[in-house]
Amino acid sequence: MMQERTDWFAIAAGALGGAIAIAIMEALSAQLAFPLASIPFATSTVLVMGSPDARPAQPRALVGGHLVSALVGLLLLKAAGPGPYVAAFSVGVAIAAMHLTRTFHPPAGINPLLIVLGDMPWSFFFVPVTAGALLLLAFAWLWHNAARRGSWPEESWSQAFTLWPDRSPRPAGAGPAPAKEPAGAGETPPASSDGRWK
């Protein structure tokens, strides 16, 4: 029964947080006169607020995925120009690039599509992509840690922003990987013939 209550609370907290985050995004879009359809964070909000324990919802994937995919879209746009086939190809390249950089975040796949089809300038990389990803990161951290008492992110911050993080699987909620003991630590020293420890 307690588990059911906990699950329902987590669902309600994620749903309310997602609604608030989307409302903030809409308000900022109207304030800045920026087309809401060009802001690629609606599905990111659903993922990060609704499934915060998932690996693609962690900070490295959220921020890194958006930056990597946007960069791919801009580079291919400048190299090949706008067009539907370039847009499709850029999404495929972005998927591969996110996997290679360990920043796979499925909602970020919309970035190269928006960039190529909309013939976006380089400034799109900074606003809304970088600014939006960091704002969503900050909101998710504040919301989840207030509503769920320090439970987000699942990964450590050093793991989130290191170049090659440890990807060994750990149970959900296990927290950061424990530090490795020095070689020989924990081993019992051999006893000498007279029973004394060496």
Buried b (16+ CB within 10 A) or exposed e, 128-167: bbeebbebbbebbeebbeebbeeebbbbeeebbeeeebee
**Is 47 within a domain?**
yes
**Is 132 within a domain?**
yes
Question: Which residue is associated with the tokens 């919802």?
Answer: 57
**Is 147 within a domain?**
yes
Say how many domains are in the chain: 1
Q: What is the pLDDT of residues 137-161, one digit of tens each?
A: 999 999 998 886 667 898 777 666 6
Q: What is the pLDDT of residues 14-66, one digit of tens each?
A: 999 999 999 999 999 998 888 888 899 999 999 999 999 999 999 999 999 99
pLDDT above 70: percentage of residues in the chain: 75
Question: How much is the mean pLDDT over the chain?
Answer: 84
**Is 196 within a domain?**
no
pTM of the model: 0.78
pLDDT for 135 beyond 70: yes
pLDDT of residue 8: 85
Burial of 67 (0-12, 13-18, 19+ CB in 10 A): buried
pLDDT of residue 128: 94
**Is 127 within a domain?**
yes
Range 109-127 average pLDDT: 97
**Is 69 within a domain?**
yes
**Is 28 within a domain?**
yes
User: Of 46-50, 70-74, 109-113, 164-168, which range is least confident?
Assistant: 164-168
**Is 172 within a domain?**
no
Provide the domain limits for residue 25.
16-156
Q: Residue 132 — very low, low, confident or very high, per pLDDT cuts 50/70/90? A: very high
